[in-house]
Every structure is written in C-alpha cells, then in structure tokens.
C-alpha cells in the first residue's frame, strides 16, 4: 500500500460515519413527514358535535354553501345565455338589414 491510499479500517470507519449520518437524516425526515401528515389529518377530520343543535348548524352551513354554489352556477349560465342572446340579435339584425332598405 502507498501512503496516499487509505487503510481498510479507515475506509470502514468513514463509511460507517457517513452511513450513520444518512440514517439520522432519513429518520429526521421521516419524523417531519409523520408530523406534517398528523397535522393534516387532524385538520381534515370533521368532528361532529354530539348535540342536535350542532348537527343542525352543520346542516345549515352545508345548505348555505350549496346555495352559494348554485347561485354562482346560475350567474355563469346567465352570462353565457346573455352572450348567446346578443349574438343571435346581431345575426337577426344583419339578416333584416339585407331584406329591408330604410331609404326614403
């Protein structure tokens, strides 16, 4: 062996330190991942209150949200219909102008 080459034991110790560090990093990452997922799952869980009033409040809230969604859809549909109506009016006017002359 030359002086530049590392001994087998030194290589083994370097590998072991690298391996330990990478395992520690991986464990830390997995713990962070678990913590994040726990927080998300706690947030996503909907706890139903045990009383009838609480259930009624939840039902009212969902009804209100559904009504808002329906109103938004109606607004979008009315906008689309109004655009279609304008287009049909324009085509009708252009057809009428072809057949009628308004000169005196």
Summarised one tens digit per residue, pLDDT across range 69-100 is 989 888 888 877 777 777 788 888 777 777 76
Summarised one tens digit per residue, pLDDT across range 41-69 is 776 666 666 677 777 888 888 899 989 99
Cβ atoms of residues 55 and 49 within 8 Å = yes
Summarised one tens digit per residue, pLDDT across range 6-41 is 788 888 888 888 888 888 888 888 888 888 777 777
Q: What is the pLDDT of residue 64?
A: 92
Q: Where are the domains of the chain?
A: 12-45, 58-104
Q: Tell me: pLDDT of 1 over 60.
A: no
Q: Residue 31 burial by CB count (10 A; 0-12/13-18/19+): exposed, middle or buried?
A: exposed
Q: What is the pLDDT of residue 23?
A: 83
CA–CA gap between residue 30 and residue 65 (Å, rounded): 38
């Amino acid at each position: 062996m030359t002086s530049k080459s590392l001994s087998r034991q030194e290589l083994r110790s370097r590998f072991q330190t690298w391996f330990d560090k990478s395992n520690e990093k991986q464990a830390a990452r997995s713990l962070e991942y678990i913590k994040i997922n726990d927080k998300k799952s706690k947030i996503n869980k909907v706890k139903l209150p045990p009383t009838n009033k609480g259930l009624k409040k939840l039902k009212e809230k969902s009804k209100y949200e559904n009504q808002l969604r329906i109103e938004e859809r109606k607004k979008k549909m009315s906008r689309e219909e109004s655009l279609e109506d304008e287009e049909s009016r324009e085509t009708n006017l252009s057809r009428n102008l072809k057949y009628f002359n308004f000169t005196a």
